[in-house]
Structure 1
Amino acid sequence: MSISQIVAQHLPFLRRYARALSGSQSAGDAYVTALLETLIAEPGSLDQASNPRIALYQLLTRLWNSVSINAEVEKGPLPIQGEQRLGHITPVVRQAFLLVSLEGFSEEEAAAILDMDVPTLRHLVEDAGRELAAEIATDVLIIEDEPFIALDLEGLVEGLGHRVTGIARTHSEAVSLARRKAPGLILADIQLADGSSGLDAVNELIESVEVPVIFITAYPERFLTGVRPEPAFLIAKPFQPSTVAAVISQALFFERRARPREQRATA
């Protein structure tokens, strides 16, 4: 497989990771662009890699930690969302959390990417989860037509300290529930029970309320293409609870207006 084919295979996921780190598509793409430019300048950098995926994330990590790259992004016209919360969580903690929980690396692989030992990596991941969960409790609407999956999601969401305002099985139910109680986060399947589309339901909802959305699908490759438009947050079925927890934390973490439920009630 050629270098271009290897990169193309992993590019959408590198974009997802960089976007989650920086808080915006444009800022994340600046890092991925820098990665591609580095590979063009040094075409042999992946030739000796036993695991090209790990090598790509190692390179992106080095670029992310580069003062010069960070400075260029910060000078750009596009702000990094969630900057107040980012001030409380250091970059290396976010990297550890995302590599394990969002990108699905093993602890050993994530530790290798970040050039640290496994106990240190594990400590960082645990710290990140606690810090994020304590800051971002909100109301959640679940759009899911499979009862067992919906119940699993409900239990997971409530276990993180959030409150489920309702579970919708169809487009019309989702719209009705959202109008009754505006959610702070939406978890949405894409194919619903009556043949309607979770994408269509979400598109209708976000016309009237700005809310982060996490799409859940058995066919993520149809949506995570690296070409706009695409869901900002996407989870593949069957999912790991740790992945859902990580993406929920990230979706709310980078949402400027996401506040604890008690603050929204008194605002």
Structure 2
Amino acid sequence: MWVDLVSENVQRLRAYAGMALGSQERGDAAVHAALAKILTLHVSQTPDRLLLFGLVDREIVRASRKQVPFFPKASPLGALTPLERRAVLLRVTHGFTEEEAGEILSLPAKDVKTVLDAAGLKNARLARQLRPPRPARRRGSSGE
């Protein structure tokens, strides 16, 4: 059901949109517009995470056309094109596969790989800054 899916993912959607647009306020507006669209379109598809992120992504694109996202020059995200930024966020921060990111971005998986390569996803600094922190390991849990 849509309500459950939205409540489970709203914080991730807000984070994705806010980082993609360079402003949490603009990101929240994009999420709000996507959620309103779900209500008005009577989306007949079975609700799933990819569809939900795809709807938010389309609102991010619309918002980017109205106002260019602002990122400080020193920000790793600021050096990326909007498409590269969205692809990197989906892969690194939200853990989508290239195929899933392609579905969200309306691109074939091979094009997502090309975009990620162009973004320098292998850049360890960028990946470290975007990846959510891992839970701390407990001592002695590795068989020592």
Question: What TM-score do you get using the length of structure 1 for normalisation?
Answer: 0.43
What letter is aligned with 2:58? R
- What SS does the corresponding residue of 2:120 show, helix, strand or coil? helix
Question: What TM-score do you get using the length of structure 2 for normalisation?
Answer: 0.74
What letter is aligned with 1:82? F
Structure 1 position 235, deviation (Å): 3.0
**What do residues 30-70 of structure 1 show as CA deviations (whole Å, max 9, x unaligned)?**
1111112212222x31x423x6100011111211122xx33
What letter is aligned with 1:58? G
Aligned to 1:48: 45
Give me the identity figure in percent: 28
- What SS does the corresponding residue of 2:45 show, helix, strand or coil? coil
Residue 60 of structure 1 pairs with residue 56 of structure 2: yes
Aligned pairs (5 A) from 1:208-219: none
Q: Kindly tell me: are residues 19 and 58 of structure 1, through their superposed partners in 2, closer, same or farther at Cα, counting changes over 3 Å?
A: same
Structure 2: gaps spanning 5 or more residues: 137-144
Aligned pairs (5 A) from 1:54-93: 54-66=50-62, 69-70=63-64, 74=67, 81-82=70-71, 84=73, 88-93=79-84
Residue 112 of structure 1 pairs with residue 88 of structure 2: no
Structure 1 position 83, deviation (Å): 5.1
Aligned-pair Cα RMSD in Å: 3.1
Aligned to 2:140: none
- What SS does the corresponding residue of 1:82 show, helix, strand or coil? coil
Residue 97 of structure 1 pairs with residue 88 of structure 2: yes
Distance in 1 (CA, whole Å) between partners of 2:98 and 2:65 is 30
Q: Kindly tell me: are residues 37 and 23 of structure 1, through their superposed partners in 2, closer, same or farther at Cα, counting changes over 3 Å?
A: same
Distance in 1 (CA, whole Å) between partners of 2:64 and 2:69 is 11
Distance in 1 (CA, whole Å) between partners of 2:91 and 2:121 is 15
**What do residues 68-111 of structure 1 show as CA deviations (whole Å, max 9, x unaligned)?**
x3355x3xxxx954154666421111111111111101111111
Higher strand share: 1
CA contact (8 A) 2:70 2:78 kept: no
Higher helix share: 2
Distance in 1 (CA, whole Å) between partners of 2:108 and 2:57 is 16
Structure 1: gaps spanning 5 or more residues: 134-158, 162-186, 188-212, 215-232, 239-267
CA contact (8 A) 1:15 1:28 kept: yes
Aligned length: 133
